[in-house]
A and B are shown apart, each in its own frame.
Chain A
């Protein structure tokens, strides 16, 4: 009852809904970076939508199924193949024991999710099966998957069947250019007004080092900070503050040069000023950005952020109804 890793891909990990509740002791959320596609994948194979799946990043793995299974692939546009024959995306399909599943390169998007009916049955640690690589726990032995790993599969539900399809209009969009909405704060007041205008006017490109910890952006104009005498305990660079908690989605700009959006494996605190926070409804979009994809930051207020969150939840409800 296992899936074996033949080739590991670039950064393939086991993820689920995440591990909220421990940020105060330095343990981040973790979990699938694109939570929407992750949930769609589980619902397609009849799983509880929080079951653990395989998250594939930029270069997908090669998998050998040692047992017959129902599988679904969502997220990034990487065509799956069963023994070389094309299988659908956003639709559940059956594999037999001994079948090899490979993927074409990711034409669009950065993360594909492979759900197997029954879920990936790795141990639950602090309420989650998600891998936290920096902490070396969770997922499969606390690390990225490697050649020869055998992932245990849980028992499929009665709802597991091939041919369940996600309506095209409910699939995750995978644009090469996107808008990311930002609520300014907590240290937004530290940059000049002109600099804030530039930040929102410029087009930013994803840097090659963007990962689950943080997404770095480049090519916009550097920030200008308001003059001040650095307070005791803050570093000498104007982008430094006295250490503070970092919210999930917060944007820090070390040296004022390249903004970094903290994602689900980020550290929980530190000494960089956060000039704003990406709204929760837009965090999944970041997960699907390849290096060199472009973003513009759009300033919104809390009401707009909450409305976007309600819209996101309503869309997920439509998925649940469509795949029930």
Chain B
């Protein structure tokens, strides 16, 4: 069991949902595959998808919905098998 942090590739505003009234991309406790979208970062009026770079269980998110994030900032912890 190893813990892996998914880092934000760029600065901006982090969103956990594709739309305000939609479900979150990934719930804590859920299982994700490498390449699954776990959130969006909005900057310069563009939304960029953040993908899990490993598969595993989502342990916890380290930032809240709509938090400002920096490049390289850890967003979520994934437990790899």
Contact = CB atoms under 8 A, between A and B. Distances in A.
B9 to A, nearest CB: 5
A22 interface: no
Contacts of A10: 10, 43-44, 46, 48
Contact of B44 (A105, A107, A210): A210
A209 B11 CA distance: 11
Interface in B11-38: 11-13
Contacts of B7: 105
B11 A211 contact: no
Interface in A19-61: 57-59
Most chain-A Cβ atoms within 10 A of its Cβ — which of B42, B43, B45, B46? B43
B9 A208 contact: no
B10 A106 contact: yes
Contacts of B9: 59, 105
Interface residues of A, number: 15
B72 A59 contact: no
A265 to B, nearest CB: 12
A213 to B, nearest CB: 10
Contact of B68 (A107, A209, A291): A291
A11 interface: yes
A292 interface: yes
A59 B70 CA distance: 12
A106 B43 contact: no
Nearest to B8: A105
A184 B45 CA distance: 30
Contact of B10 (A58, A209, A210, A211): A58
Given A106-B11, A107-B71, 16 more contacts: A10-B43, A10-B44, A10-B48, A58-B43, A59-B9, A59-B48, A105-B7, A106-B10, A107-B72, A208-B12, A208-B13, A208-B43, A208-B44, A210-B44, A211-B45, A291-B12
Interface of A: 10-11, 57-59, 105-107, 208-211, 290-292
Interface of B: 7-13, 42-46, 48, 68, 70-72
